[in-house]
Amino acid sequence: MEDVAYLAEHSELIRLERGEQAFRQGDPCDAMYIVASGTVRVVRLGRNQREHVLHLCVPGDSFGEVAVLGEMRMPASAIAASPSVCVKVPKGALQSAIQERHEFCRSLLRSMAMWTRHFVGLLDDLVLQDALGRIARYLLDLPSGPDGVVHLPATKKDIANHLHVSSETFSRVLRNLADEGQISVEQNGIQILDADALMQHES
């Protein structure tokens, strides 16, 4: 935890308006970021102007660390999906923390392993599951409020893209689930009515 104090000392807070970019795919990397409030879309763009939302970062999530640790250019762009505040930890501070503090280095190693694990999860979600399965899983994994209402961290469009379904399909699937009484779509989120039934759709 003294690691955190050290890093905090060398970090700064940045504020992003909706649509503003922390960095662009291909930029040399100069820092990693931690979301303090708001939501940040981490987006990968292919040529032919298609794009894919790799991650929707909510408060507590970090992004850009892979590029810093791997000494590579930014592999994706980071765009605020809503007005956001982030902690910007400069590359130099992170690197010297790694260099100086063996314990910090080890804990990063562990968290990188979890990152890789996470991507493997996304990967076989894409490969082994259909649209309904991915959506059901996503809803179940979302942190839910005390009343069982989950709050969607971004527009349905972005979430659909992240799950690799068109927004039309996303809309239709939610409709069907609602018709079957497994969820109910409220104005500010989604109420999960039958988690067991939702789980049946997975895999």
Partner DNA sequence: GCCCAGCCTTGATCTAGATCAATGTCTTGT
Partner DNA sequence: ACAAGACATTGATCTAGATCAAGGCTGGGC
Q: What is the contact surface with DNA in residues (CB under 7 A)? A: 18, 130-132, 155-157, 164-172, 174-175, 185
CA-based nearest residue to 87, from 1, 9, 29: 9
The window from 16-24, 31-39, 49-57, 189-197 that contacts its own copies (CB under 8 A) reads: 49-57
Tell me, residue by residue from 78 to 107, as one string, x for binding to its own copies by CB under 8 A and - for no binding.
--------------------xx--x--xx-
Q: How far is CA 67 from CA 41, 63, 84, 183, in A?
A: 16, 9, 21, 38
Tokens standing for residue 72:
């590579």
Tell me, residue by residue from 128 to 167, as one string, x for binding to its own copies by CB under 8 A and - for no binding.
xx----------------------------------x---
75 touches 24 (CB < 8 A): no
Q: Phi and psi (nearest 5°) for 102?
A: -60, -40
Q: Which of 1, 9, 127, 188 binds its own copies (CB under 8 A)?
A: 127
Q: Which is nearer to its own copies, 71 or 147 (CB)?
A: 71
Q: Which is nearer to DNA, 11 or 161 (CB)?
A: 161
Supply the minimum distance, in Å, between the C-beta of residue 156 and its own copies.
18
**Sheet harboring 40-45: ordered strands across?**
21-23, 77-80, 40-45, 51-57
Tokens standing for residue 131:
């649209």
Counting contacts by CB under 8 A, is residue 200 touching its own copies?
Answer: no
